[in-house]
Structure 1
Amino acid sequence: MPSDALSIARDLVRCPSVTPADAGALNVLETLLKGAGFDVHRITFSEPGAADIDNLYSRIGTTGPHIAFAGHTDVVPPGDEGAWTRGAFSGDVVDGFLYGRGTVDMKGGIACSVAAALDYLAEHGGQPGKDGDGSISFLITGDEEDIAVNGTVKLMQWAAARGEKFDHCVLGEPSNIEELGDCIKIGRRGSQSGTLYVDGVQGHVAYPHRASNPIPDIAALITALVSDPLDRGSAQFQPSNLEFTSVDVGNPAANVIPGQARAKFNIRFNDHHSQESLRTLIEARVAEISGNRIATRIVWEPSNADVFLTEPGPFTDLLVAAIEEVTGRKPELSTGGGTSDARFIKDYCPVIEFGLVGQTMHQIDERTPVADLERLTRIYRGVLDRYFA
């Protein structure tokens, strides 16, 4: 089986692994890694109310330093497959671009990390590190694009229970914005969702004195909550933001004052807050605005998306140097964007995110330049050279 990044990426893309289906994607990786001498484990995790998820952990080497590459082989649905220029799972190469769902997010990144590791091992007698000292591993899951309960979070727990210790991790999410080498993710804001309820008294619109309309009250609360900043940002993070995403009263009648109004919201928060302190802050603000006049409550949704930051230092410097050598660019160290599985890995070792350019991820005709696959492989190879130097 060919071990260059393009061949690996094409084999992965041709597996229609829409969450929670694996569709053979992990078999592709297992065959390659076993052939290179990796110890490979396939672990299925289950949880009531969620799909069973197949995961892969592989390692070569038994000592430190230990660098892990992480990623997910599951992808979002392709949407209208008839709208694709090439088949959504074709893996076709046209005019220098590899097409298919997952090429960017993130089978392409996984392919590059595997190709780089195999190339490094082939040049170093099948052993990582100087004189065989060191370890390379892969943490690959299949449920990142869904609720993420039977993937990386449990795979990290499983590995820790076995005594696996990681020194650093590179997560191959598509971190770049415009061009390869423009951005490294060194952290992510946390995410917390909830629903604000305002209770009134239902009644006839012709007799408003017999009712209490919750709509003006919830409108005032929404306006006040979004008008008052949660913070002004921090050294590495942009300001936290609260966004209301829906408002509903469940009332189809034009002549009835509703008895309740509710509004869903999501907060992306920085390192000024924890989930607990953030909930306390929002509840205090709601209580202050509403006083004793408005009956309110907030129902918080469970969240496993905490804020995290990998402080700039030798590991980020190492990746920056590898990127500059290949692309000539010095990347921005960013904490913007949404959540990723790095939020689970950060509890076990420092983790940074660097992969392909994310412009077409989740879109019709998702694609990546073949040249970017080749350059990302060279960057990852440069990371390994420097890491074990």
Structure 2
Amino acid sequence: MTKETLATDPVANLSALVRCASVTPADGGALGALEAMLVPLGFSVERVTFSDDDTADVENLYARLGSAEPHLMFAGHTDVVPPGDVAAWSKPPFEAAIVDDMMIGRGTVDMKGGIAAFVAACASYIAENGPPKGSISFLITGDEEGPSINGTEKLLKHADAKGEVWQGAIVGEPTNPEAMGDMIKIGRRGSLSGIITVHGVQGHVAYPHLADNPIRAIVAFCNALLDTPFDHGTDTFPATNLEITSIDVGNPSVNVIPSKATAAFNVRFNDRWDAESLQMDIHNRLDQAAERLRSGTERPPVDFDITWKERPSPSFLTRDETLIAAMQQAVESVTGRTPKLSTTGGTSDARFIKDYCPVVEFGLVGQTMHMVDERVALSDLRTLTQIYRQFLDRWFA
């Protein structure tokens, strides 16, 4: 097998992936395109579909090269968010058009570019060194941009049940805020969402004594959640932050007191908290606010409840110095920059992987992800490939 037959060109790899319209949960041929790149490199490939009630079936891919340790996992997703108004794009979102050293297309940054670069890095490594003295696996889902039910979490359990063990993992999500070499993610904040519902009594605004306006309580509850900080951050995490994301009374009339009011919120929390302790703190804040509303009045107790939405995501921090140092040194070697070790941003599939092995995240610049004309500089794509290749050299040294 010659170097020319291997998938060493990240631009060609990415073009093949972007041309697959894999809008979550549809595969669109993306996993087949990836399999076609990996099989000639010597990877054994398994594609498995998972199902669950009330969610779409999702196909996923697990590929492995080698049988020895150390075993490195590269994790990511081929599914993308919808392109939105296609007419607003300067080029068709699934054409992979190249304009002025930029490839335009949905998924170029988030995160088919990371997959394309890692495939190219593996191909380059194999062409020069042969198979690694260890193992490399790809754990790729089609469910990251969806509900994340039939994707990475189940694929990890499936692989673990078959005896797969990993010593480290890279998630190829876009991590750099402005330029390649800015940031490595070594952990993530947790996420908790909920909806508060205050039940009142509907009535005429001219006769408030015959009604109970729930807006008074929902405003007090929002203030109780926002006014006092949950904490001031830690050495490795920013401060826990709660945002009210919606307030609604469903009332089209200006002279009717509504019967209920709701407020939705999301909290991104650091490692001072887990979901249970944070839920307790939020309940306590609301109970105290409800008591203050009643204090010195004849009002009845506030009738309210909280619905916790979806599954909370825990915070985590990777402390594996070997994995972190290998990525940090690779970034510095290629870019000349010292990347910040960060726990900022949203959640990712790393929250599932951390239960199986140490994990870091490093990928492209994320400024255009999910936008119209999502795009990647070809120079950044090649830089990322060089960084991944440097990492492989260090990891298997």
Q: TM-score, normalised by structure 2?
A: 0.95
Q: State the partner residue of 1:148.
A: 148
Q: State the partner residue of 1:177.
A: 177
Shift in Å, 1:147: 0.6
* Count of residues paired in the alignment: 384
SS at match of 1:380: helix
Shift in Å, 1:254: 2.3
SS at match of 1:139: strand
Report the Cα distance in structure 1 between the residues aligned to 2:371 and 2:254, rounded to whole angstroms. Answer: 40
Shift in Å, 1:220: 1.4
Matches within 5 A, 1:120-135: 120-125=125-130, 127-129=131-133, 134-135=134-135
Report the Cα distance in structure 2 between the residues aligned to 1:155 and 1:167, rounded to whole angstroms. Answer: 17
Q: State the partner residue of 1:256.
A: 256
Q: State the partner residue of 1:359.
A: 367
Q: State the partner residue of 1:75.
A: 80
| Residue type at the aligned position of 1:54 | E
* Of 81, 86, 107, the match for 2:91: 86
Residues 73 and 137, structure 2, Cα contact 8 Å, conserved in 1 = yes
Shift in Å, 1:44: 0.4
Q: State the partner residue of 2:111.
A: 106
Q: State the partner residue of 1:208.
A: 208
Q: Percentage identity across aligned positions?
A: 55
| Residue type at the aligned position of 2:132 | P
Structure 1: tracts of 5 or more residues without a match:
none
Shift in Å, 1:247: 0.9
Structure 2: tracts of 5 or more residues without a match:
295-300
| Residue type at the aligned position of 1:307 | S
SS at match of 1:303: strand
Matches within 5 A, 1:220-299: 220-291=220-291, 293-299=301-307
| Residue type at the aligned position of 1:199 | H
Q: TM-score, normalised by structure 1?
A: 0.96
Report Cα offsets for 1:41-74 as digits up to 9, x if no partner.
0000011111111100000111111111111000
Residues 88 and 100, structure 1, Cα contact 8 Å, conserved in 2 = yes
Shift in Å, 1:2: 5.7
Report the Cα distance in structure 1 between the residues aligned to 2:84 and 2:132, rounded to whole angstroms. Answer: 41
Report the Cα distance in structure 1 between the residues aligned to 2:258 and 2:101, rounded to whole angstroms. Answer: 58
Report the Cα distance in structure 2 between the residues aligned to 1:364 and 1:11, rounded to whole angstroms. Answer: 20
* Of 287, 306, 322, the match for 2:330: 322
Residue 34 (1) aligns with residue 39 (2): yes
* Of 7, 13, 19, the match for 2:18: 13
Q: State the partner residue of 1:309.
A: 317
Shift in Å, 1:374: 0.9
Residues 320 and 358, structure 2, Cα contact 8 Å, conserved in 1 = no
| Residue type at the aligned position of 2:150 | N
Residue 374 (1) aligns with residue 378 (2): no
SS at match of 1:301: strand
Residues 144 and 349, structure 2, Cα contact 8 Å, conserved in 1 = yes
Q: State the partner residue of 1:118.
A: 123
Report the Cα distance in structure 1 between the residues aligned to 2:106 and 2:114, rounded to whole angstroms. Answer: 13
Report the Cα distance in structure 2 between the residues aligned to 1:263 and 1:138, rounded to whole angstroms. Answer: 41
| Residue type at the aligned position of 1:9 | L
Shift in Å, 1:110: 0.3
Report the Cα distance in structure 1 between the residues aligned to 2:277 and 2:216, rounded to whole angstroms. Answer: 28
Measured on the aligned residues, the alpha-carbon RMSD in Å equals 1.2
Structure 1 segments (4+ residues) deviating >3 Å: none
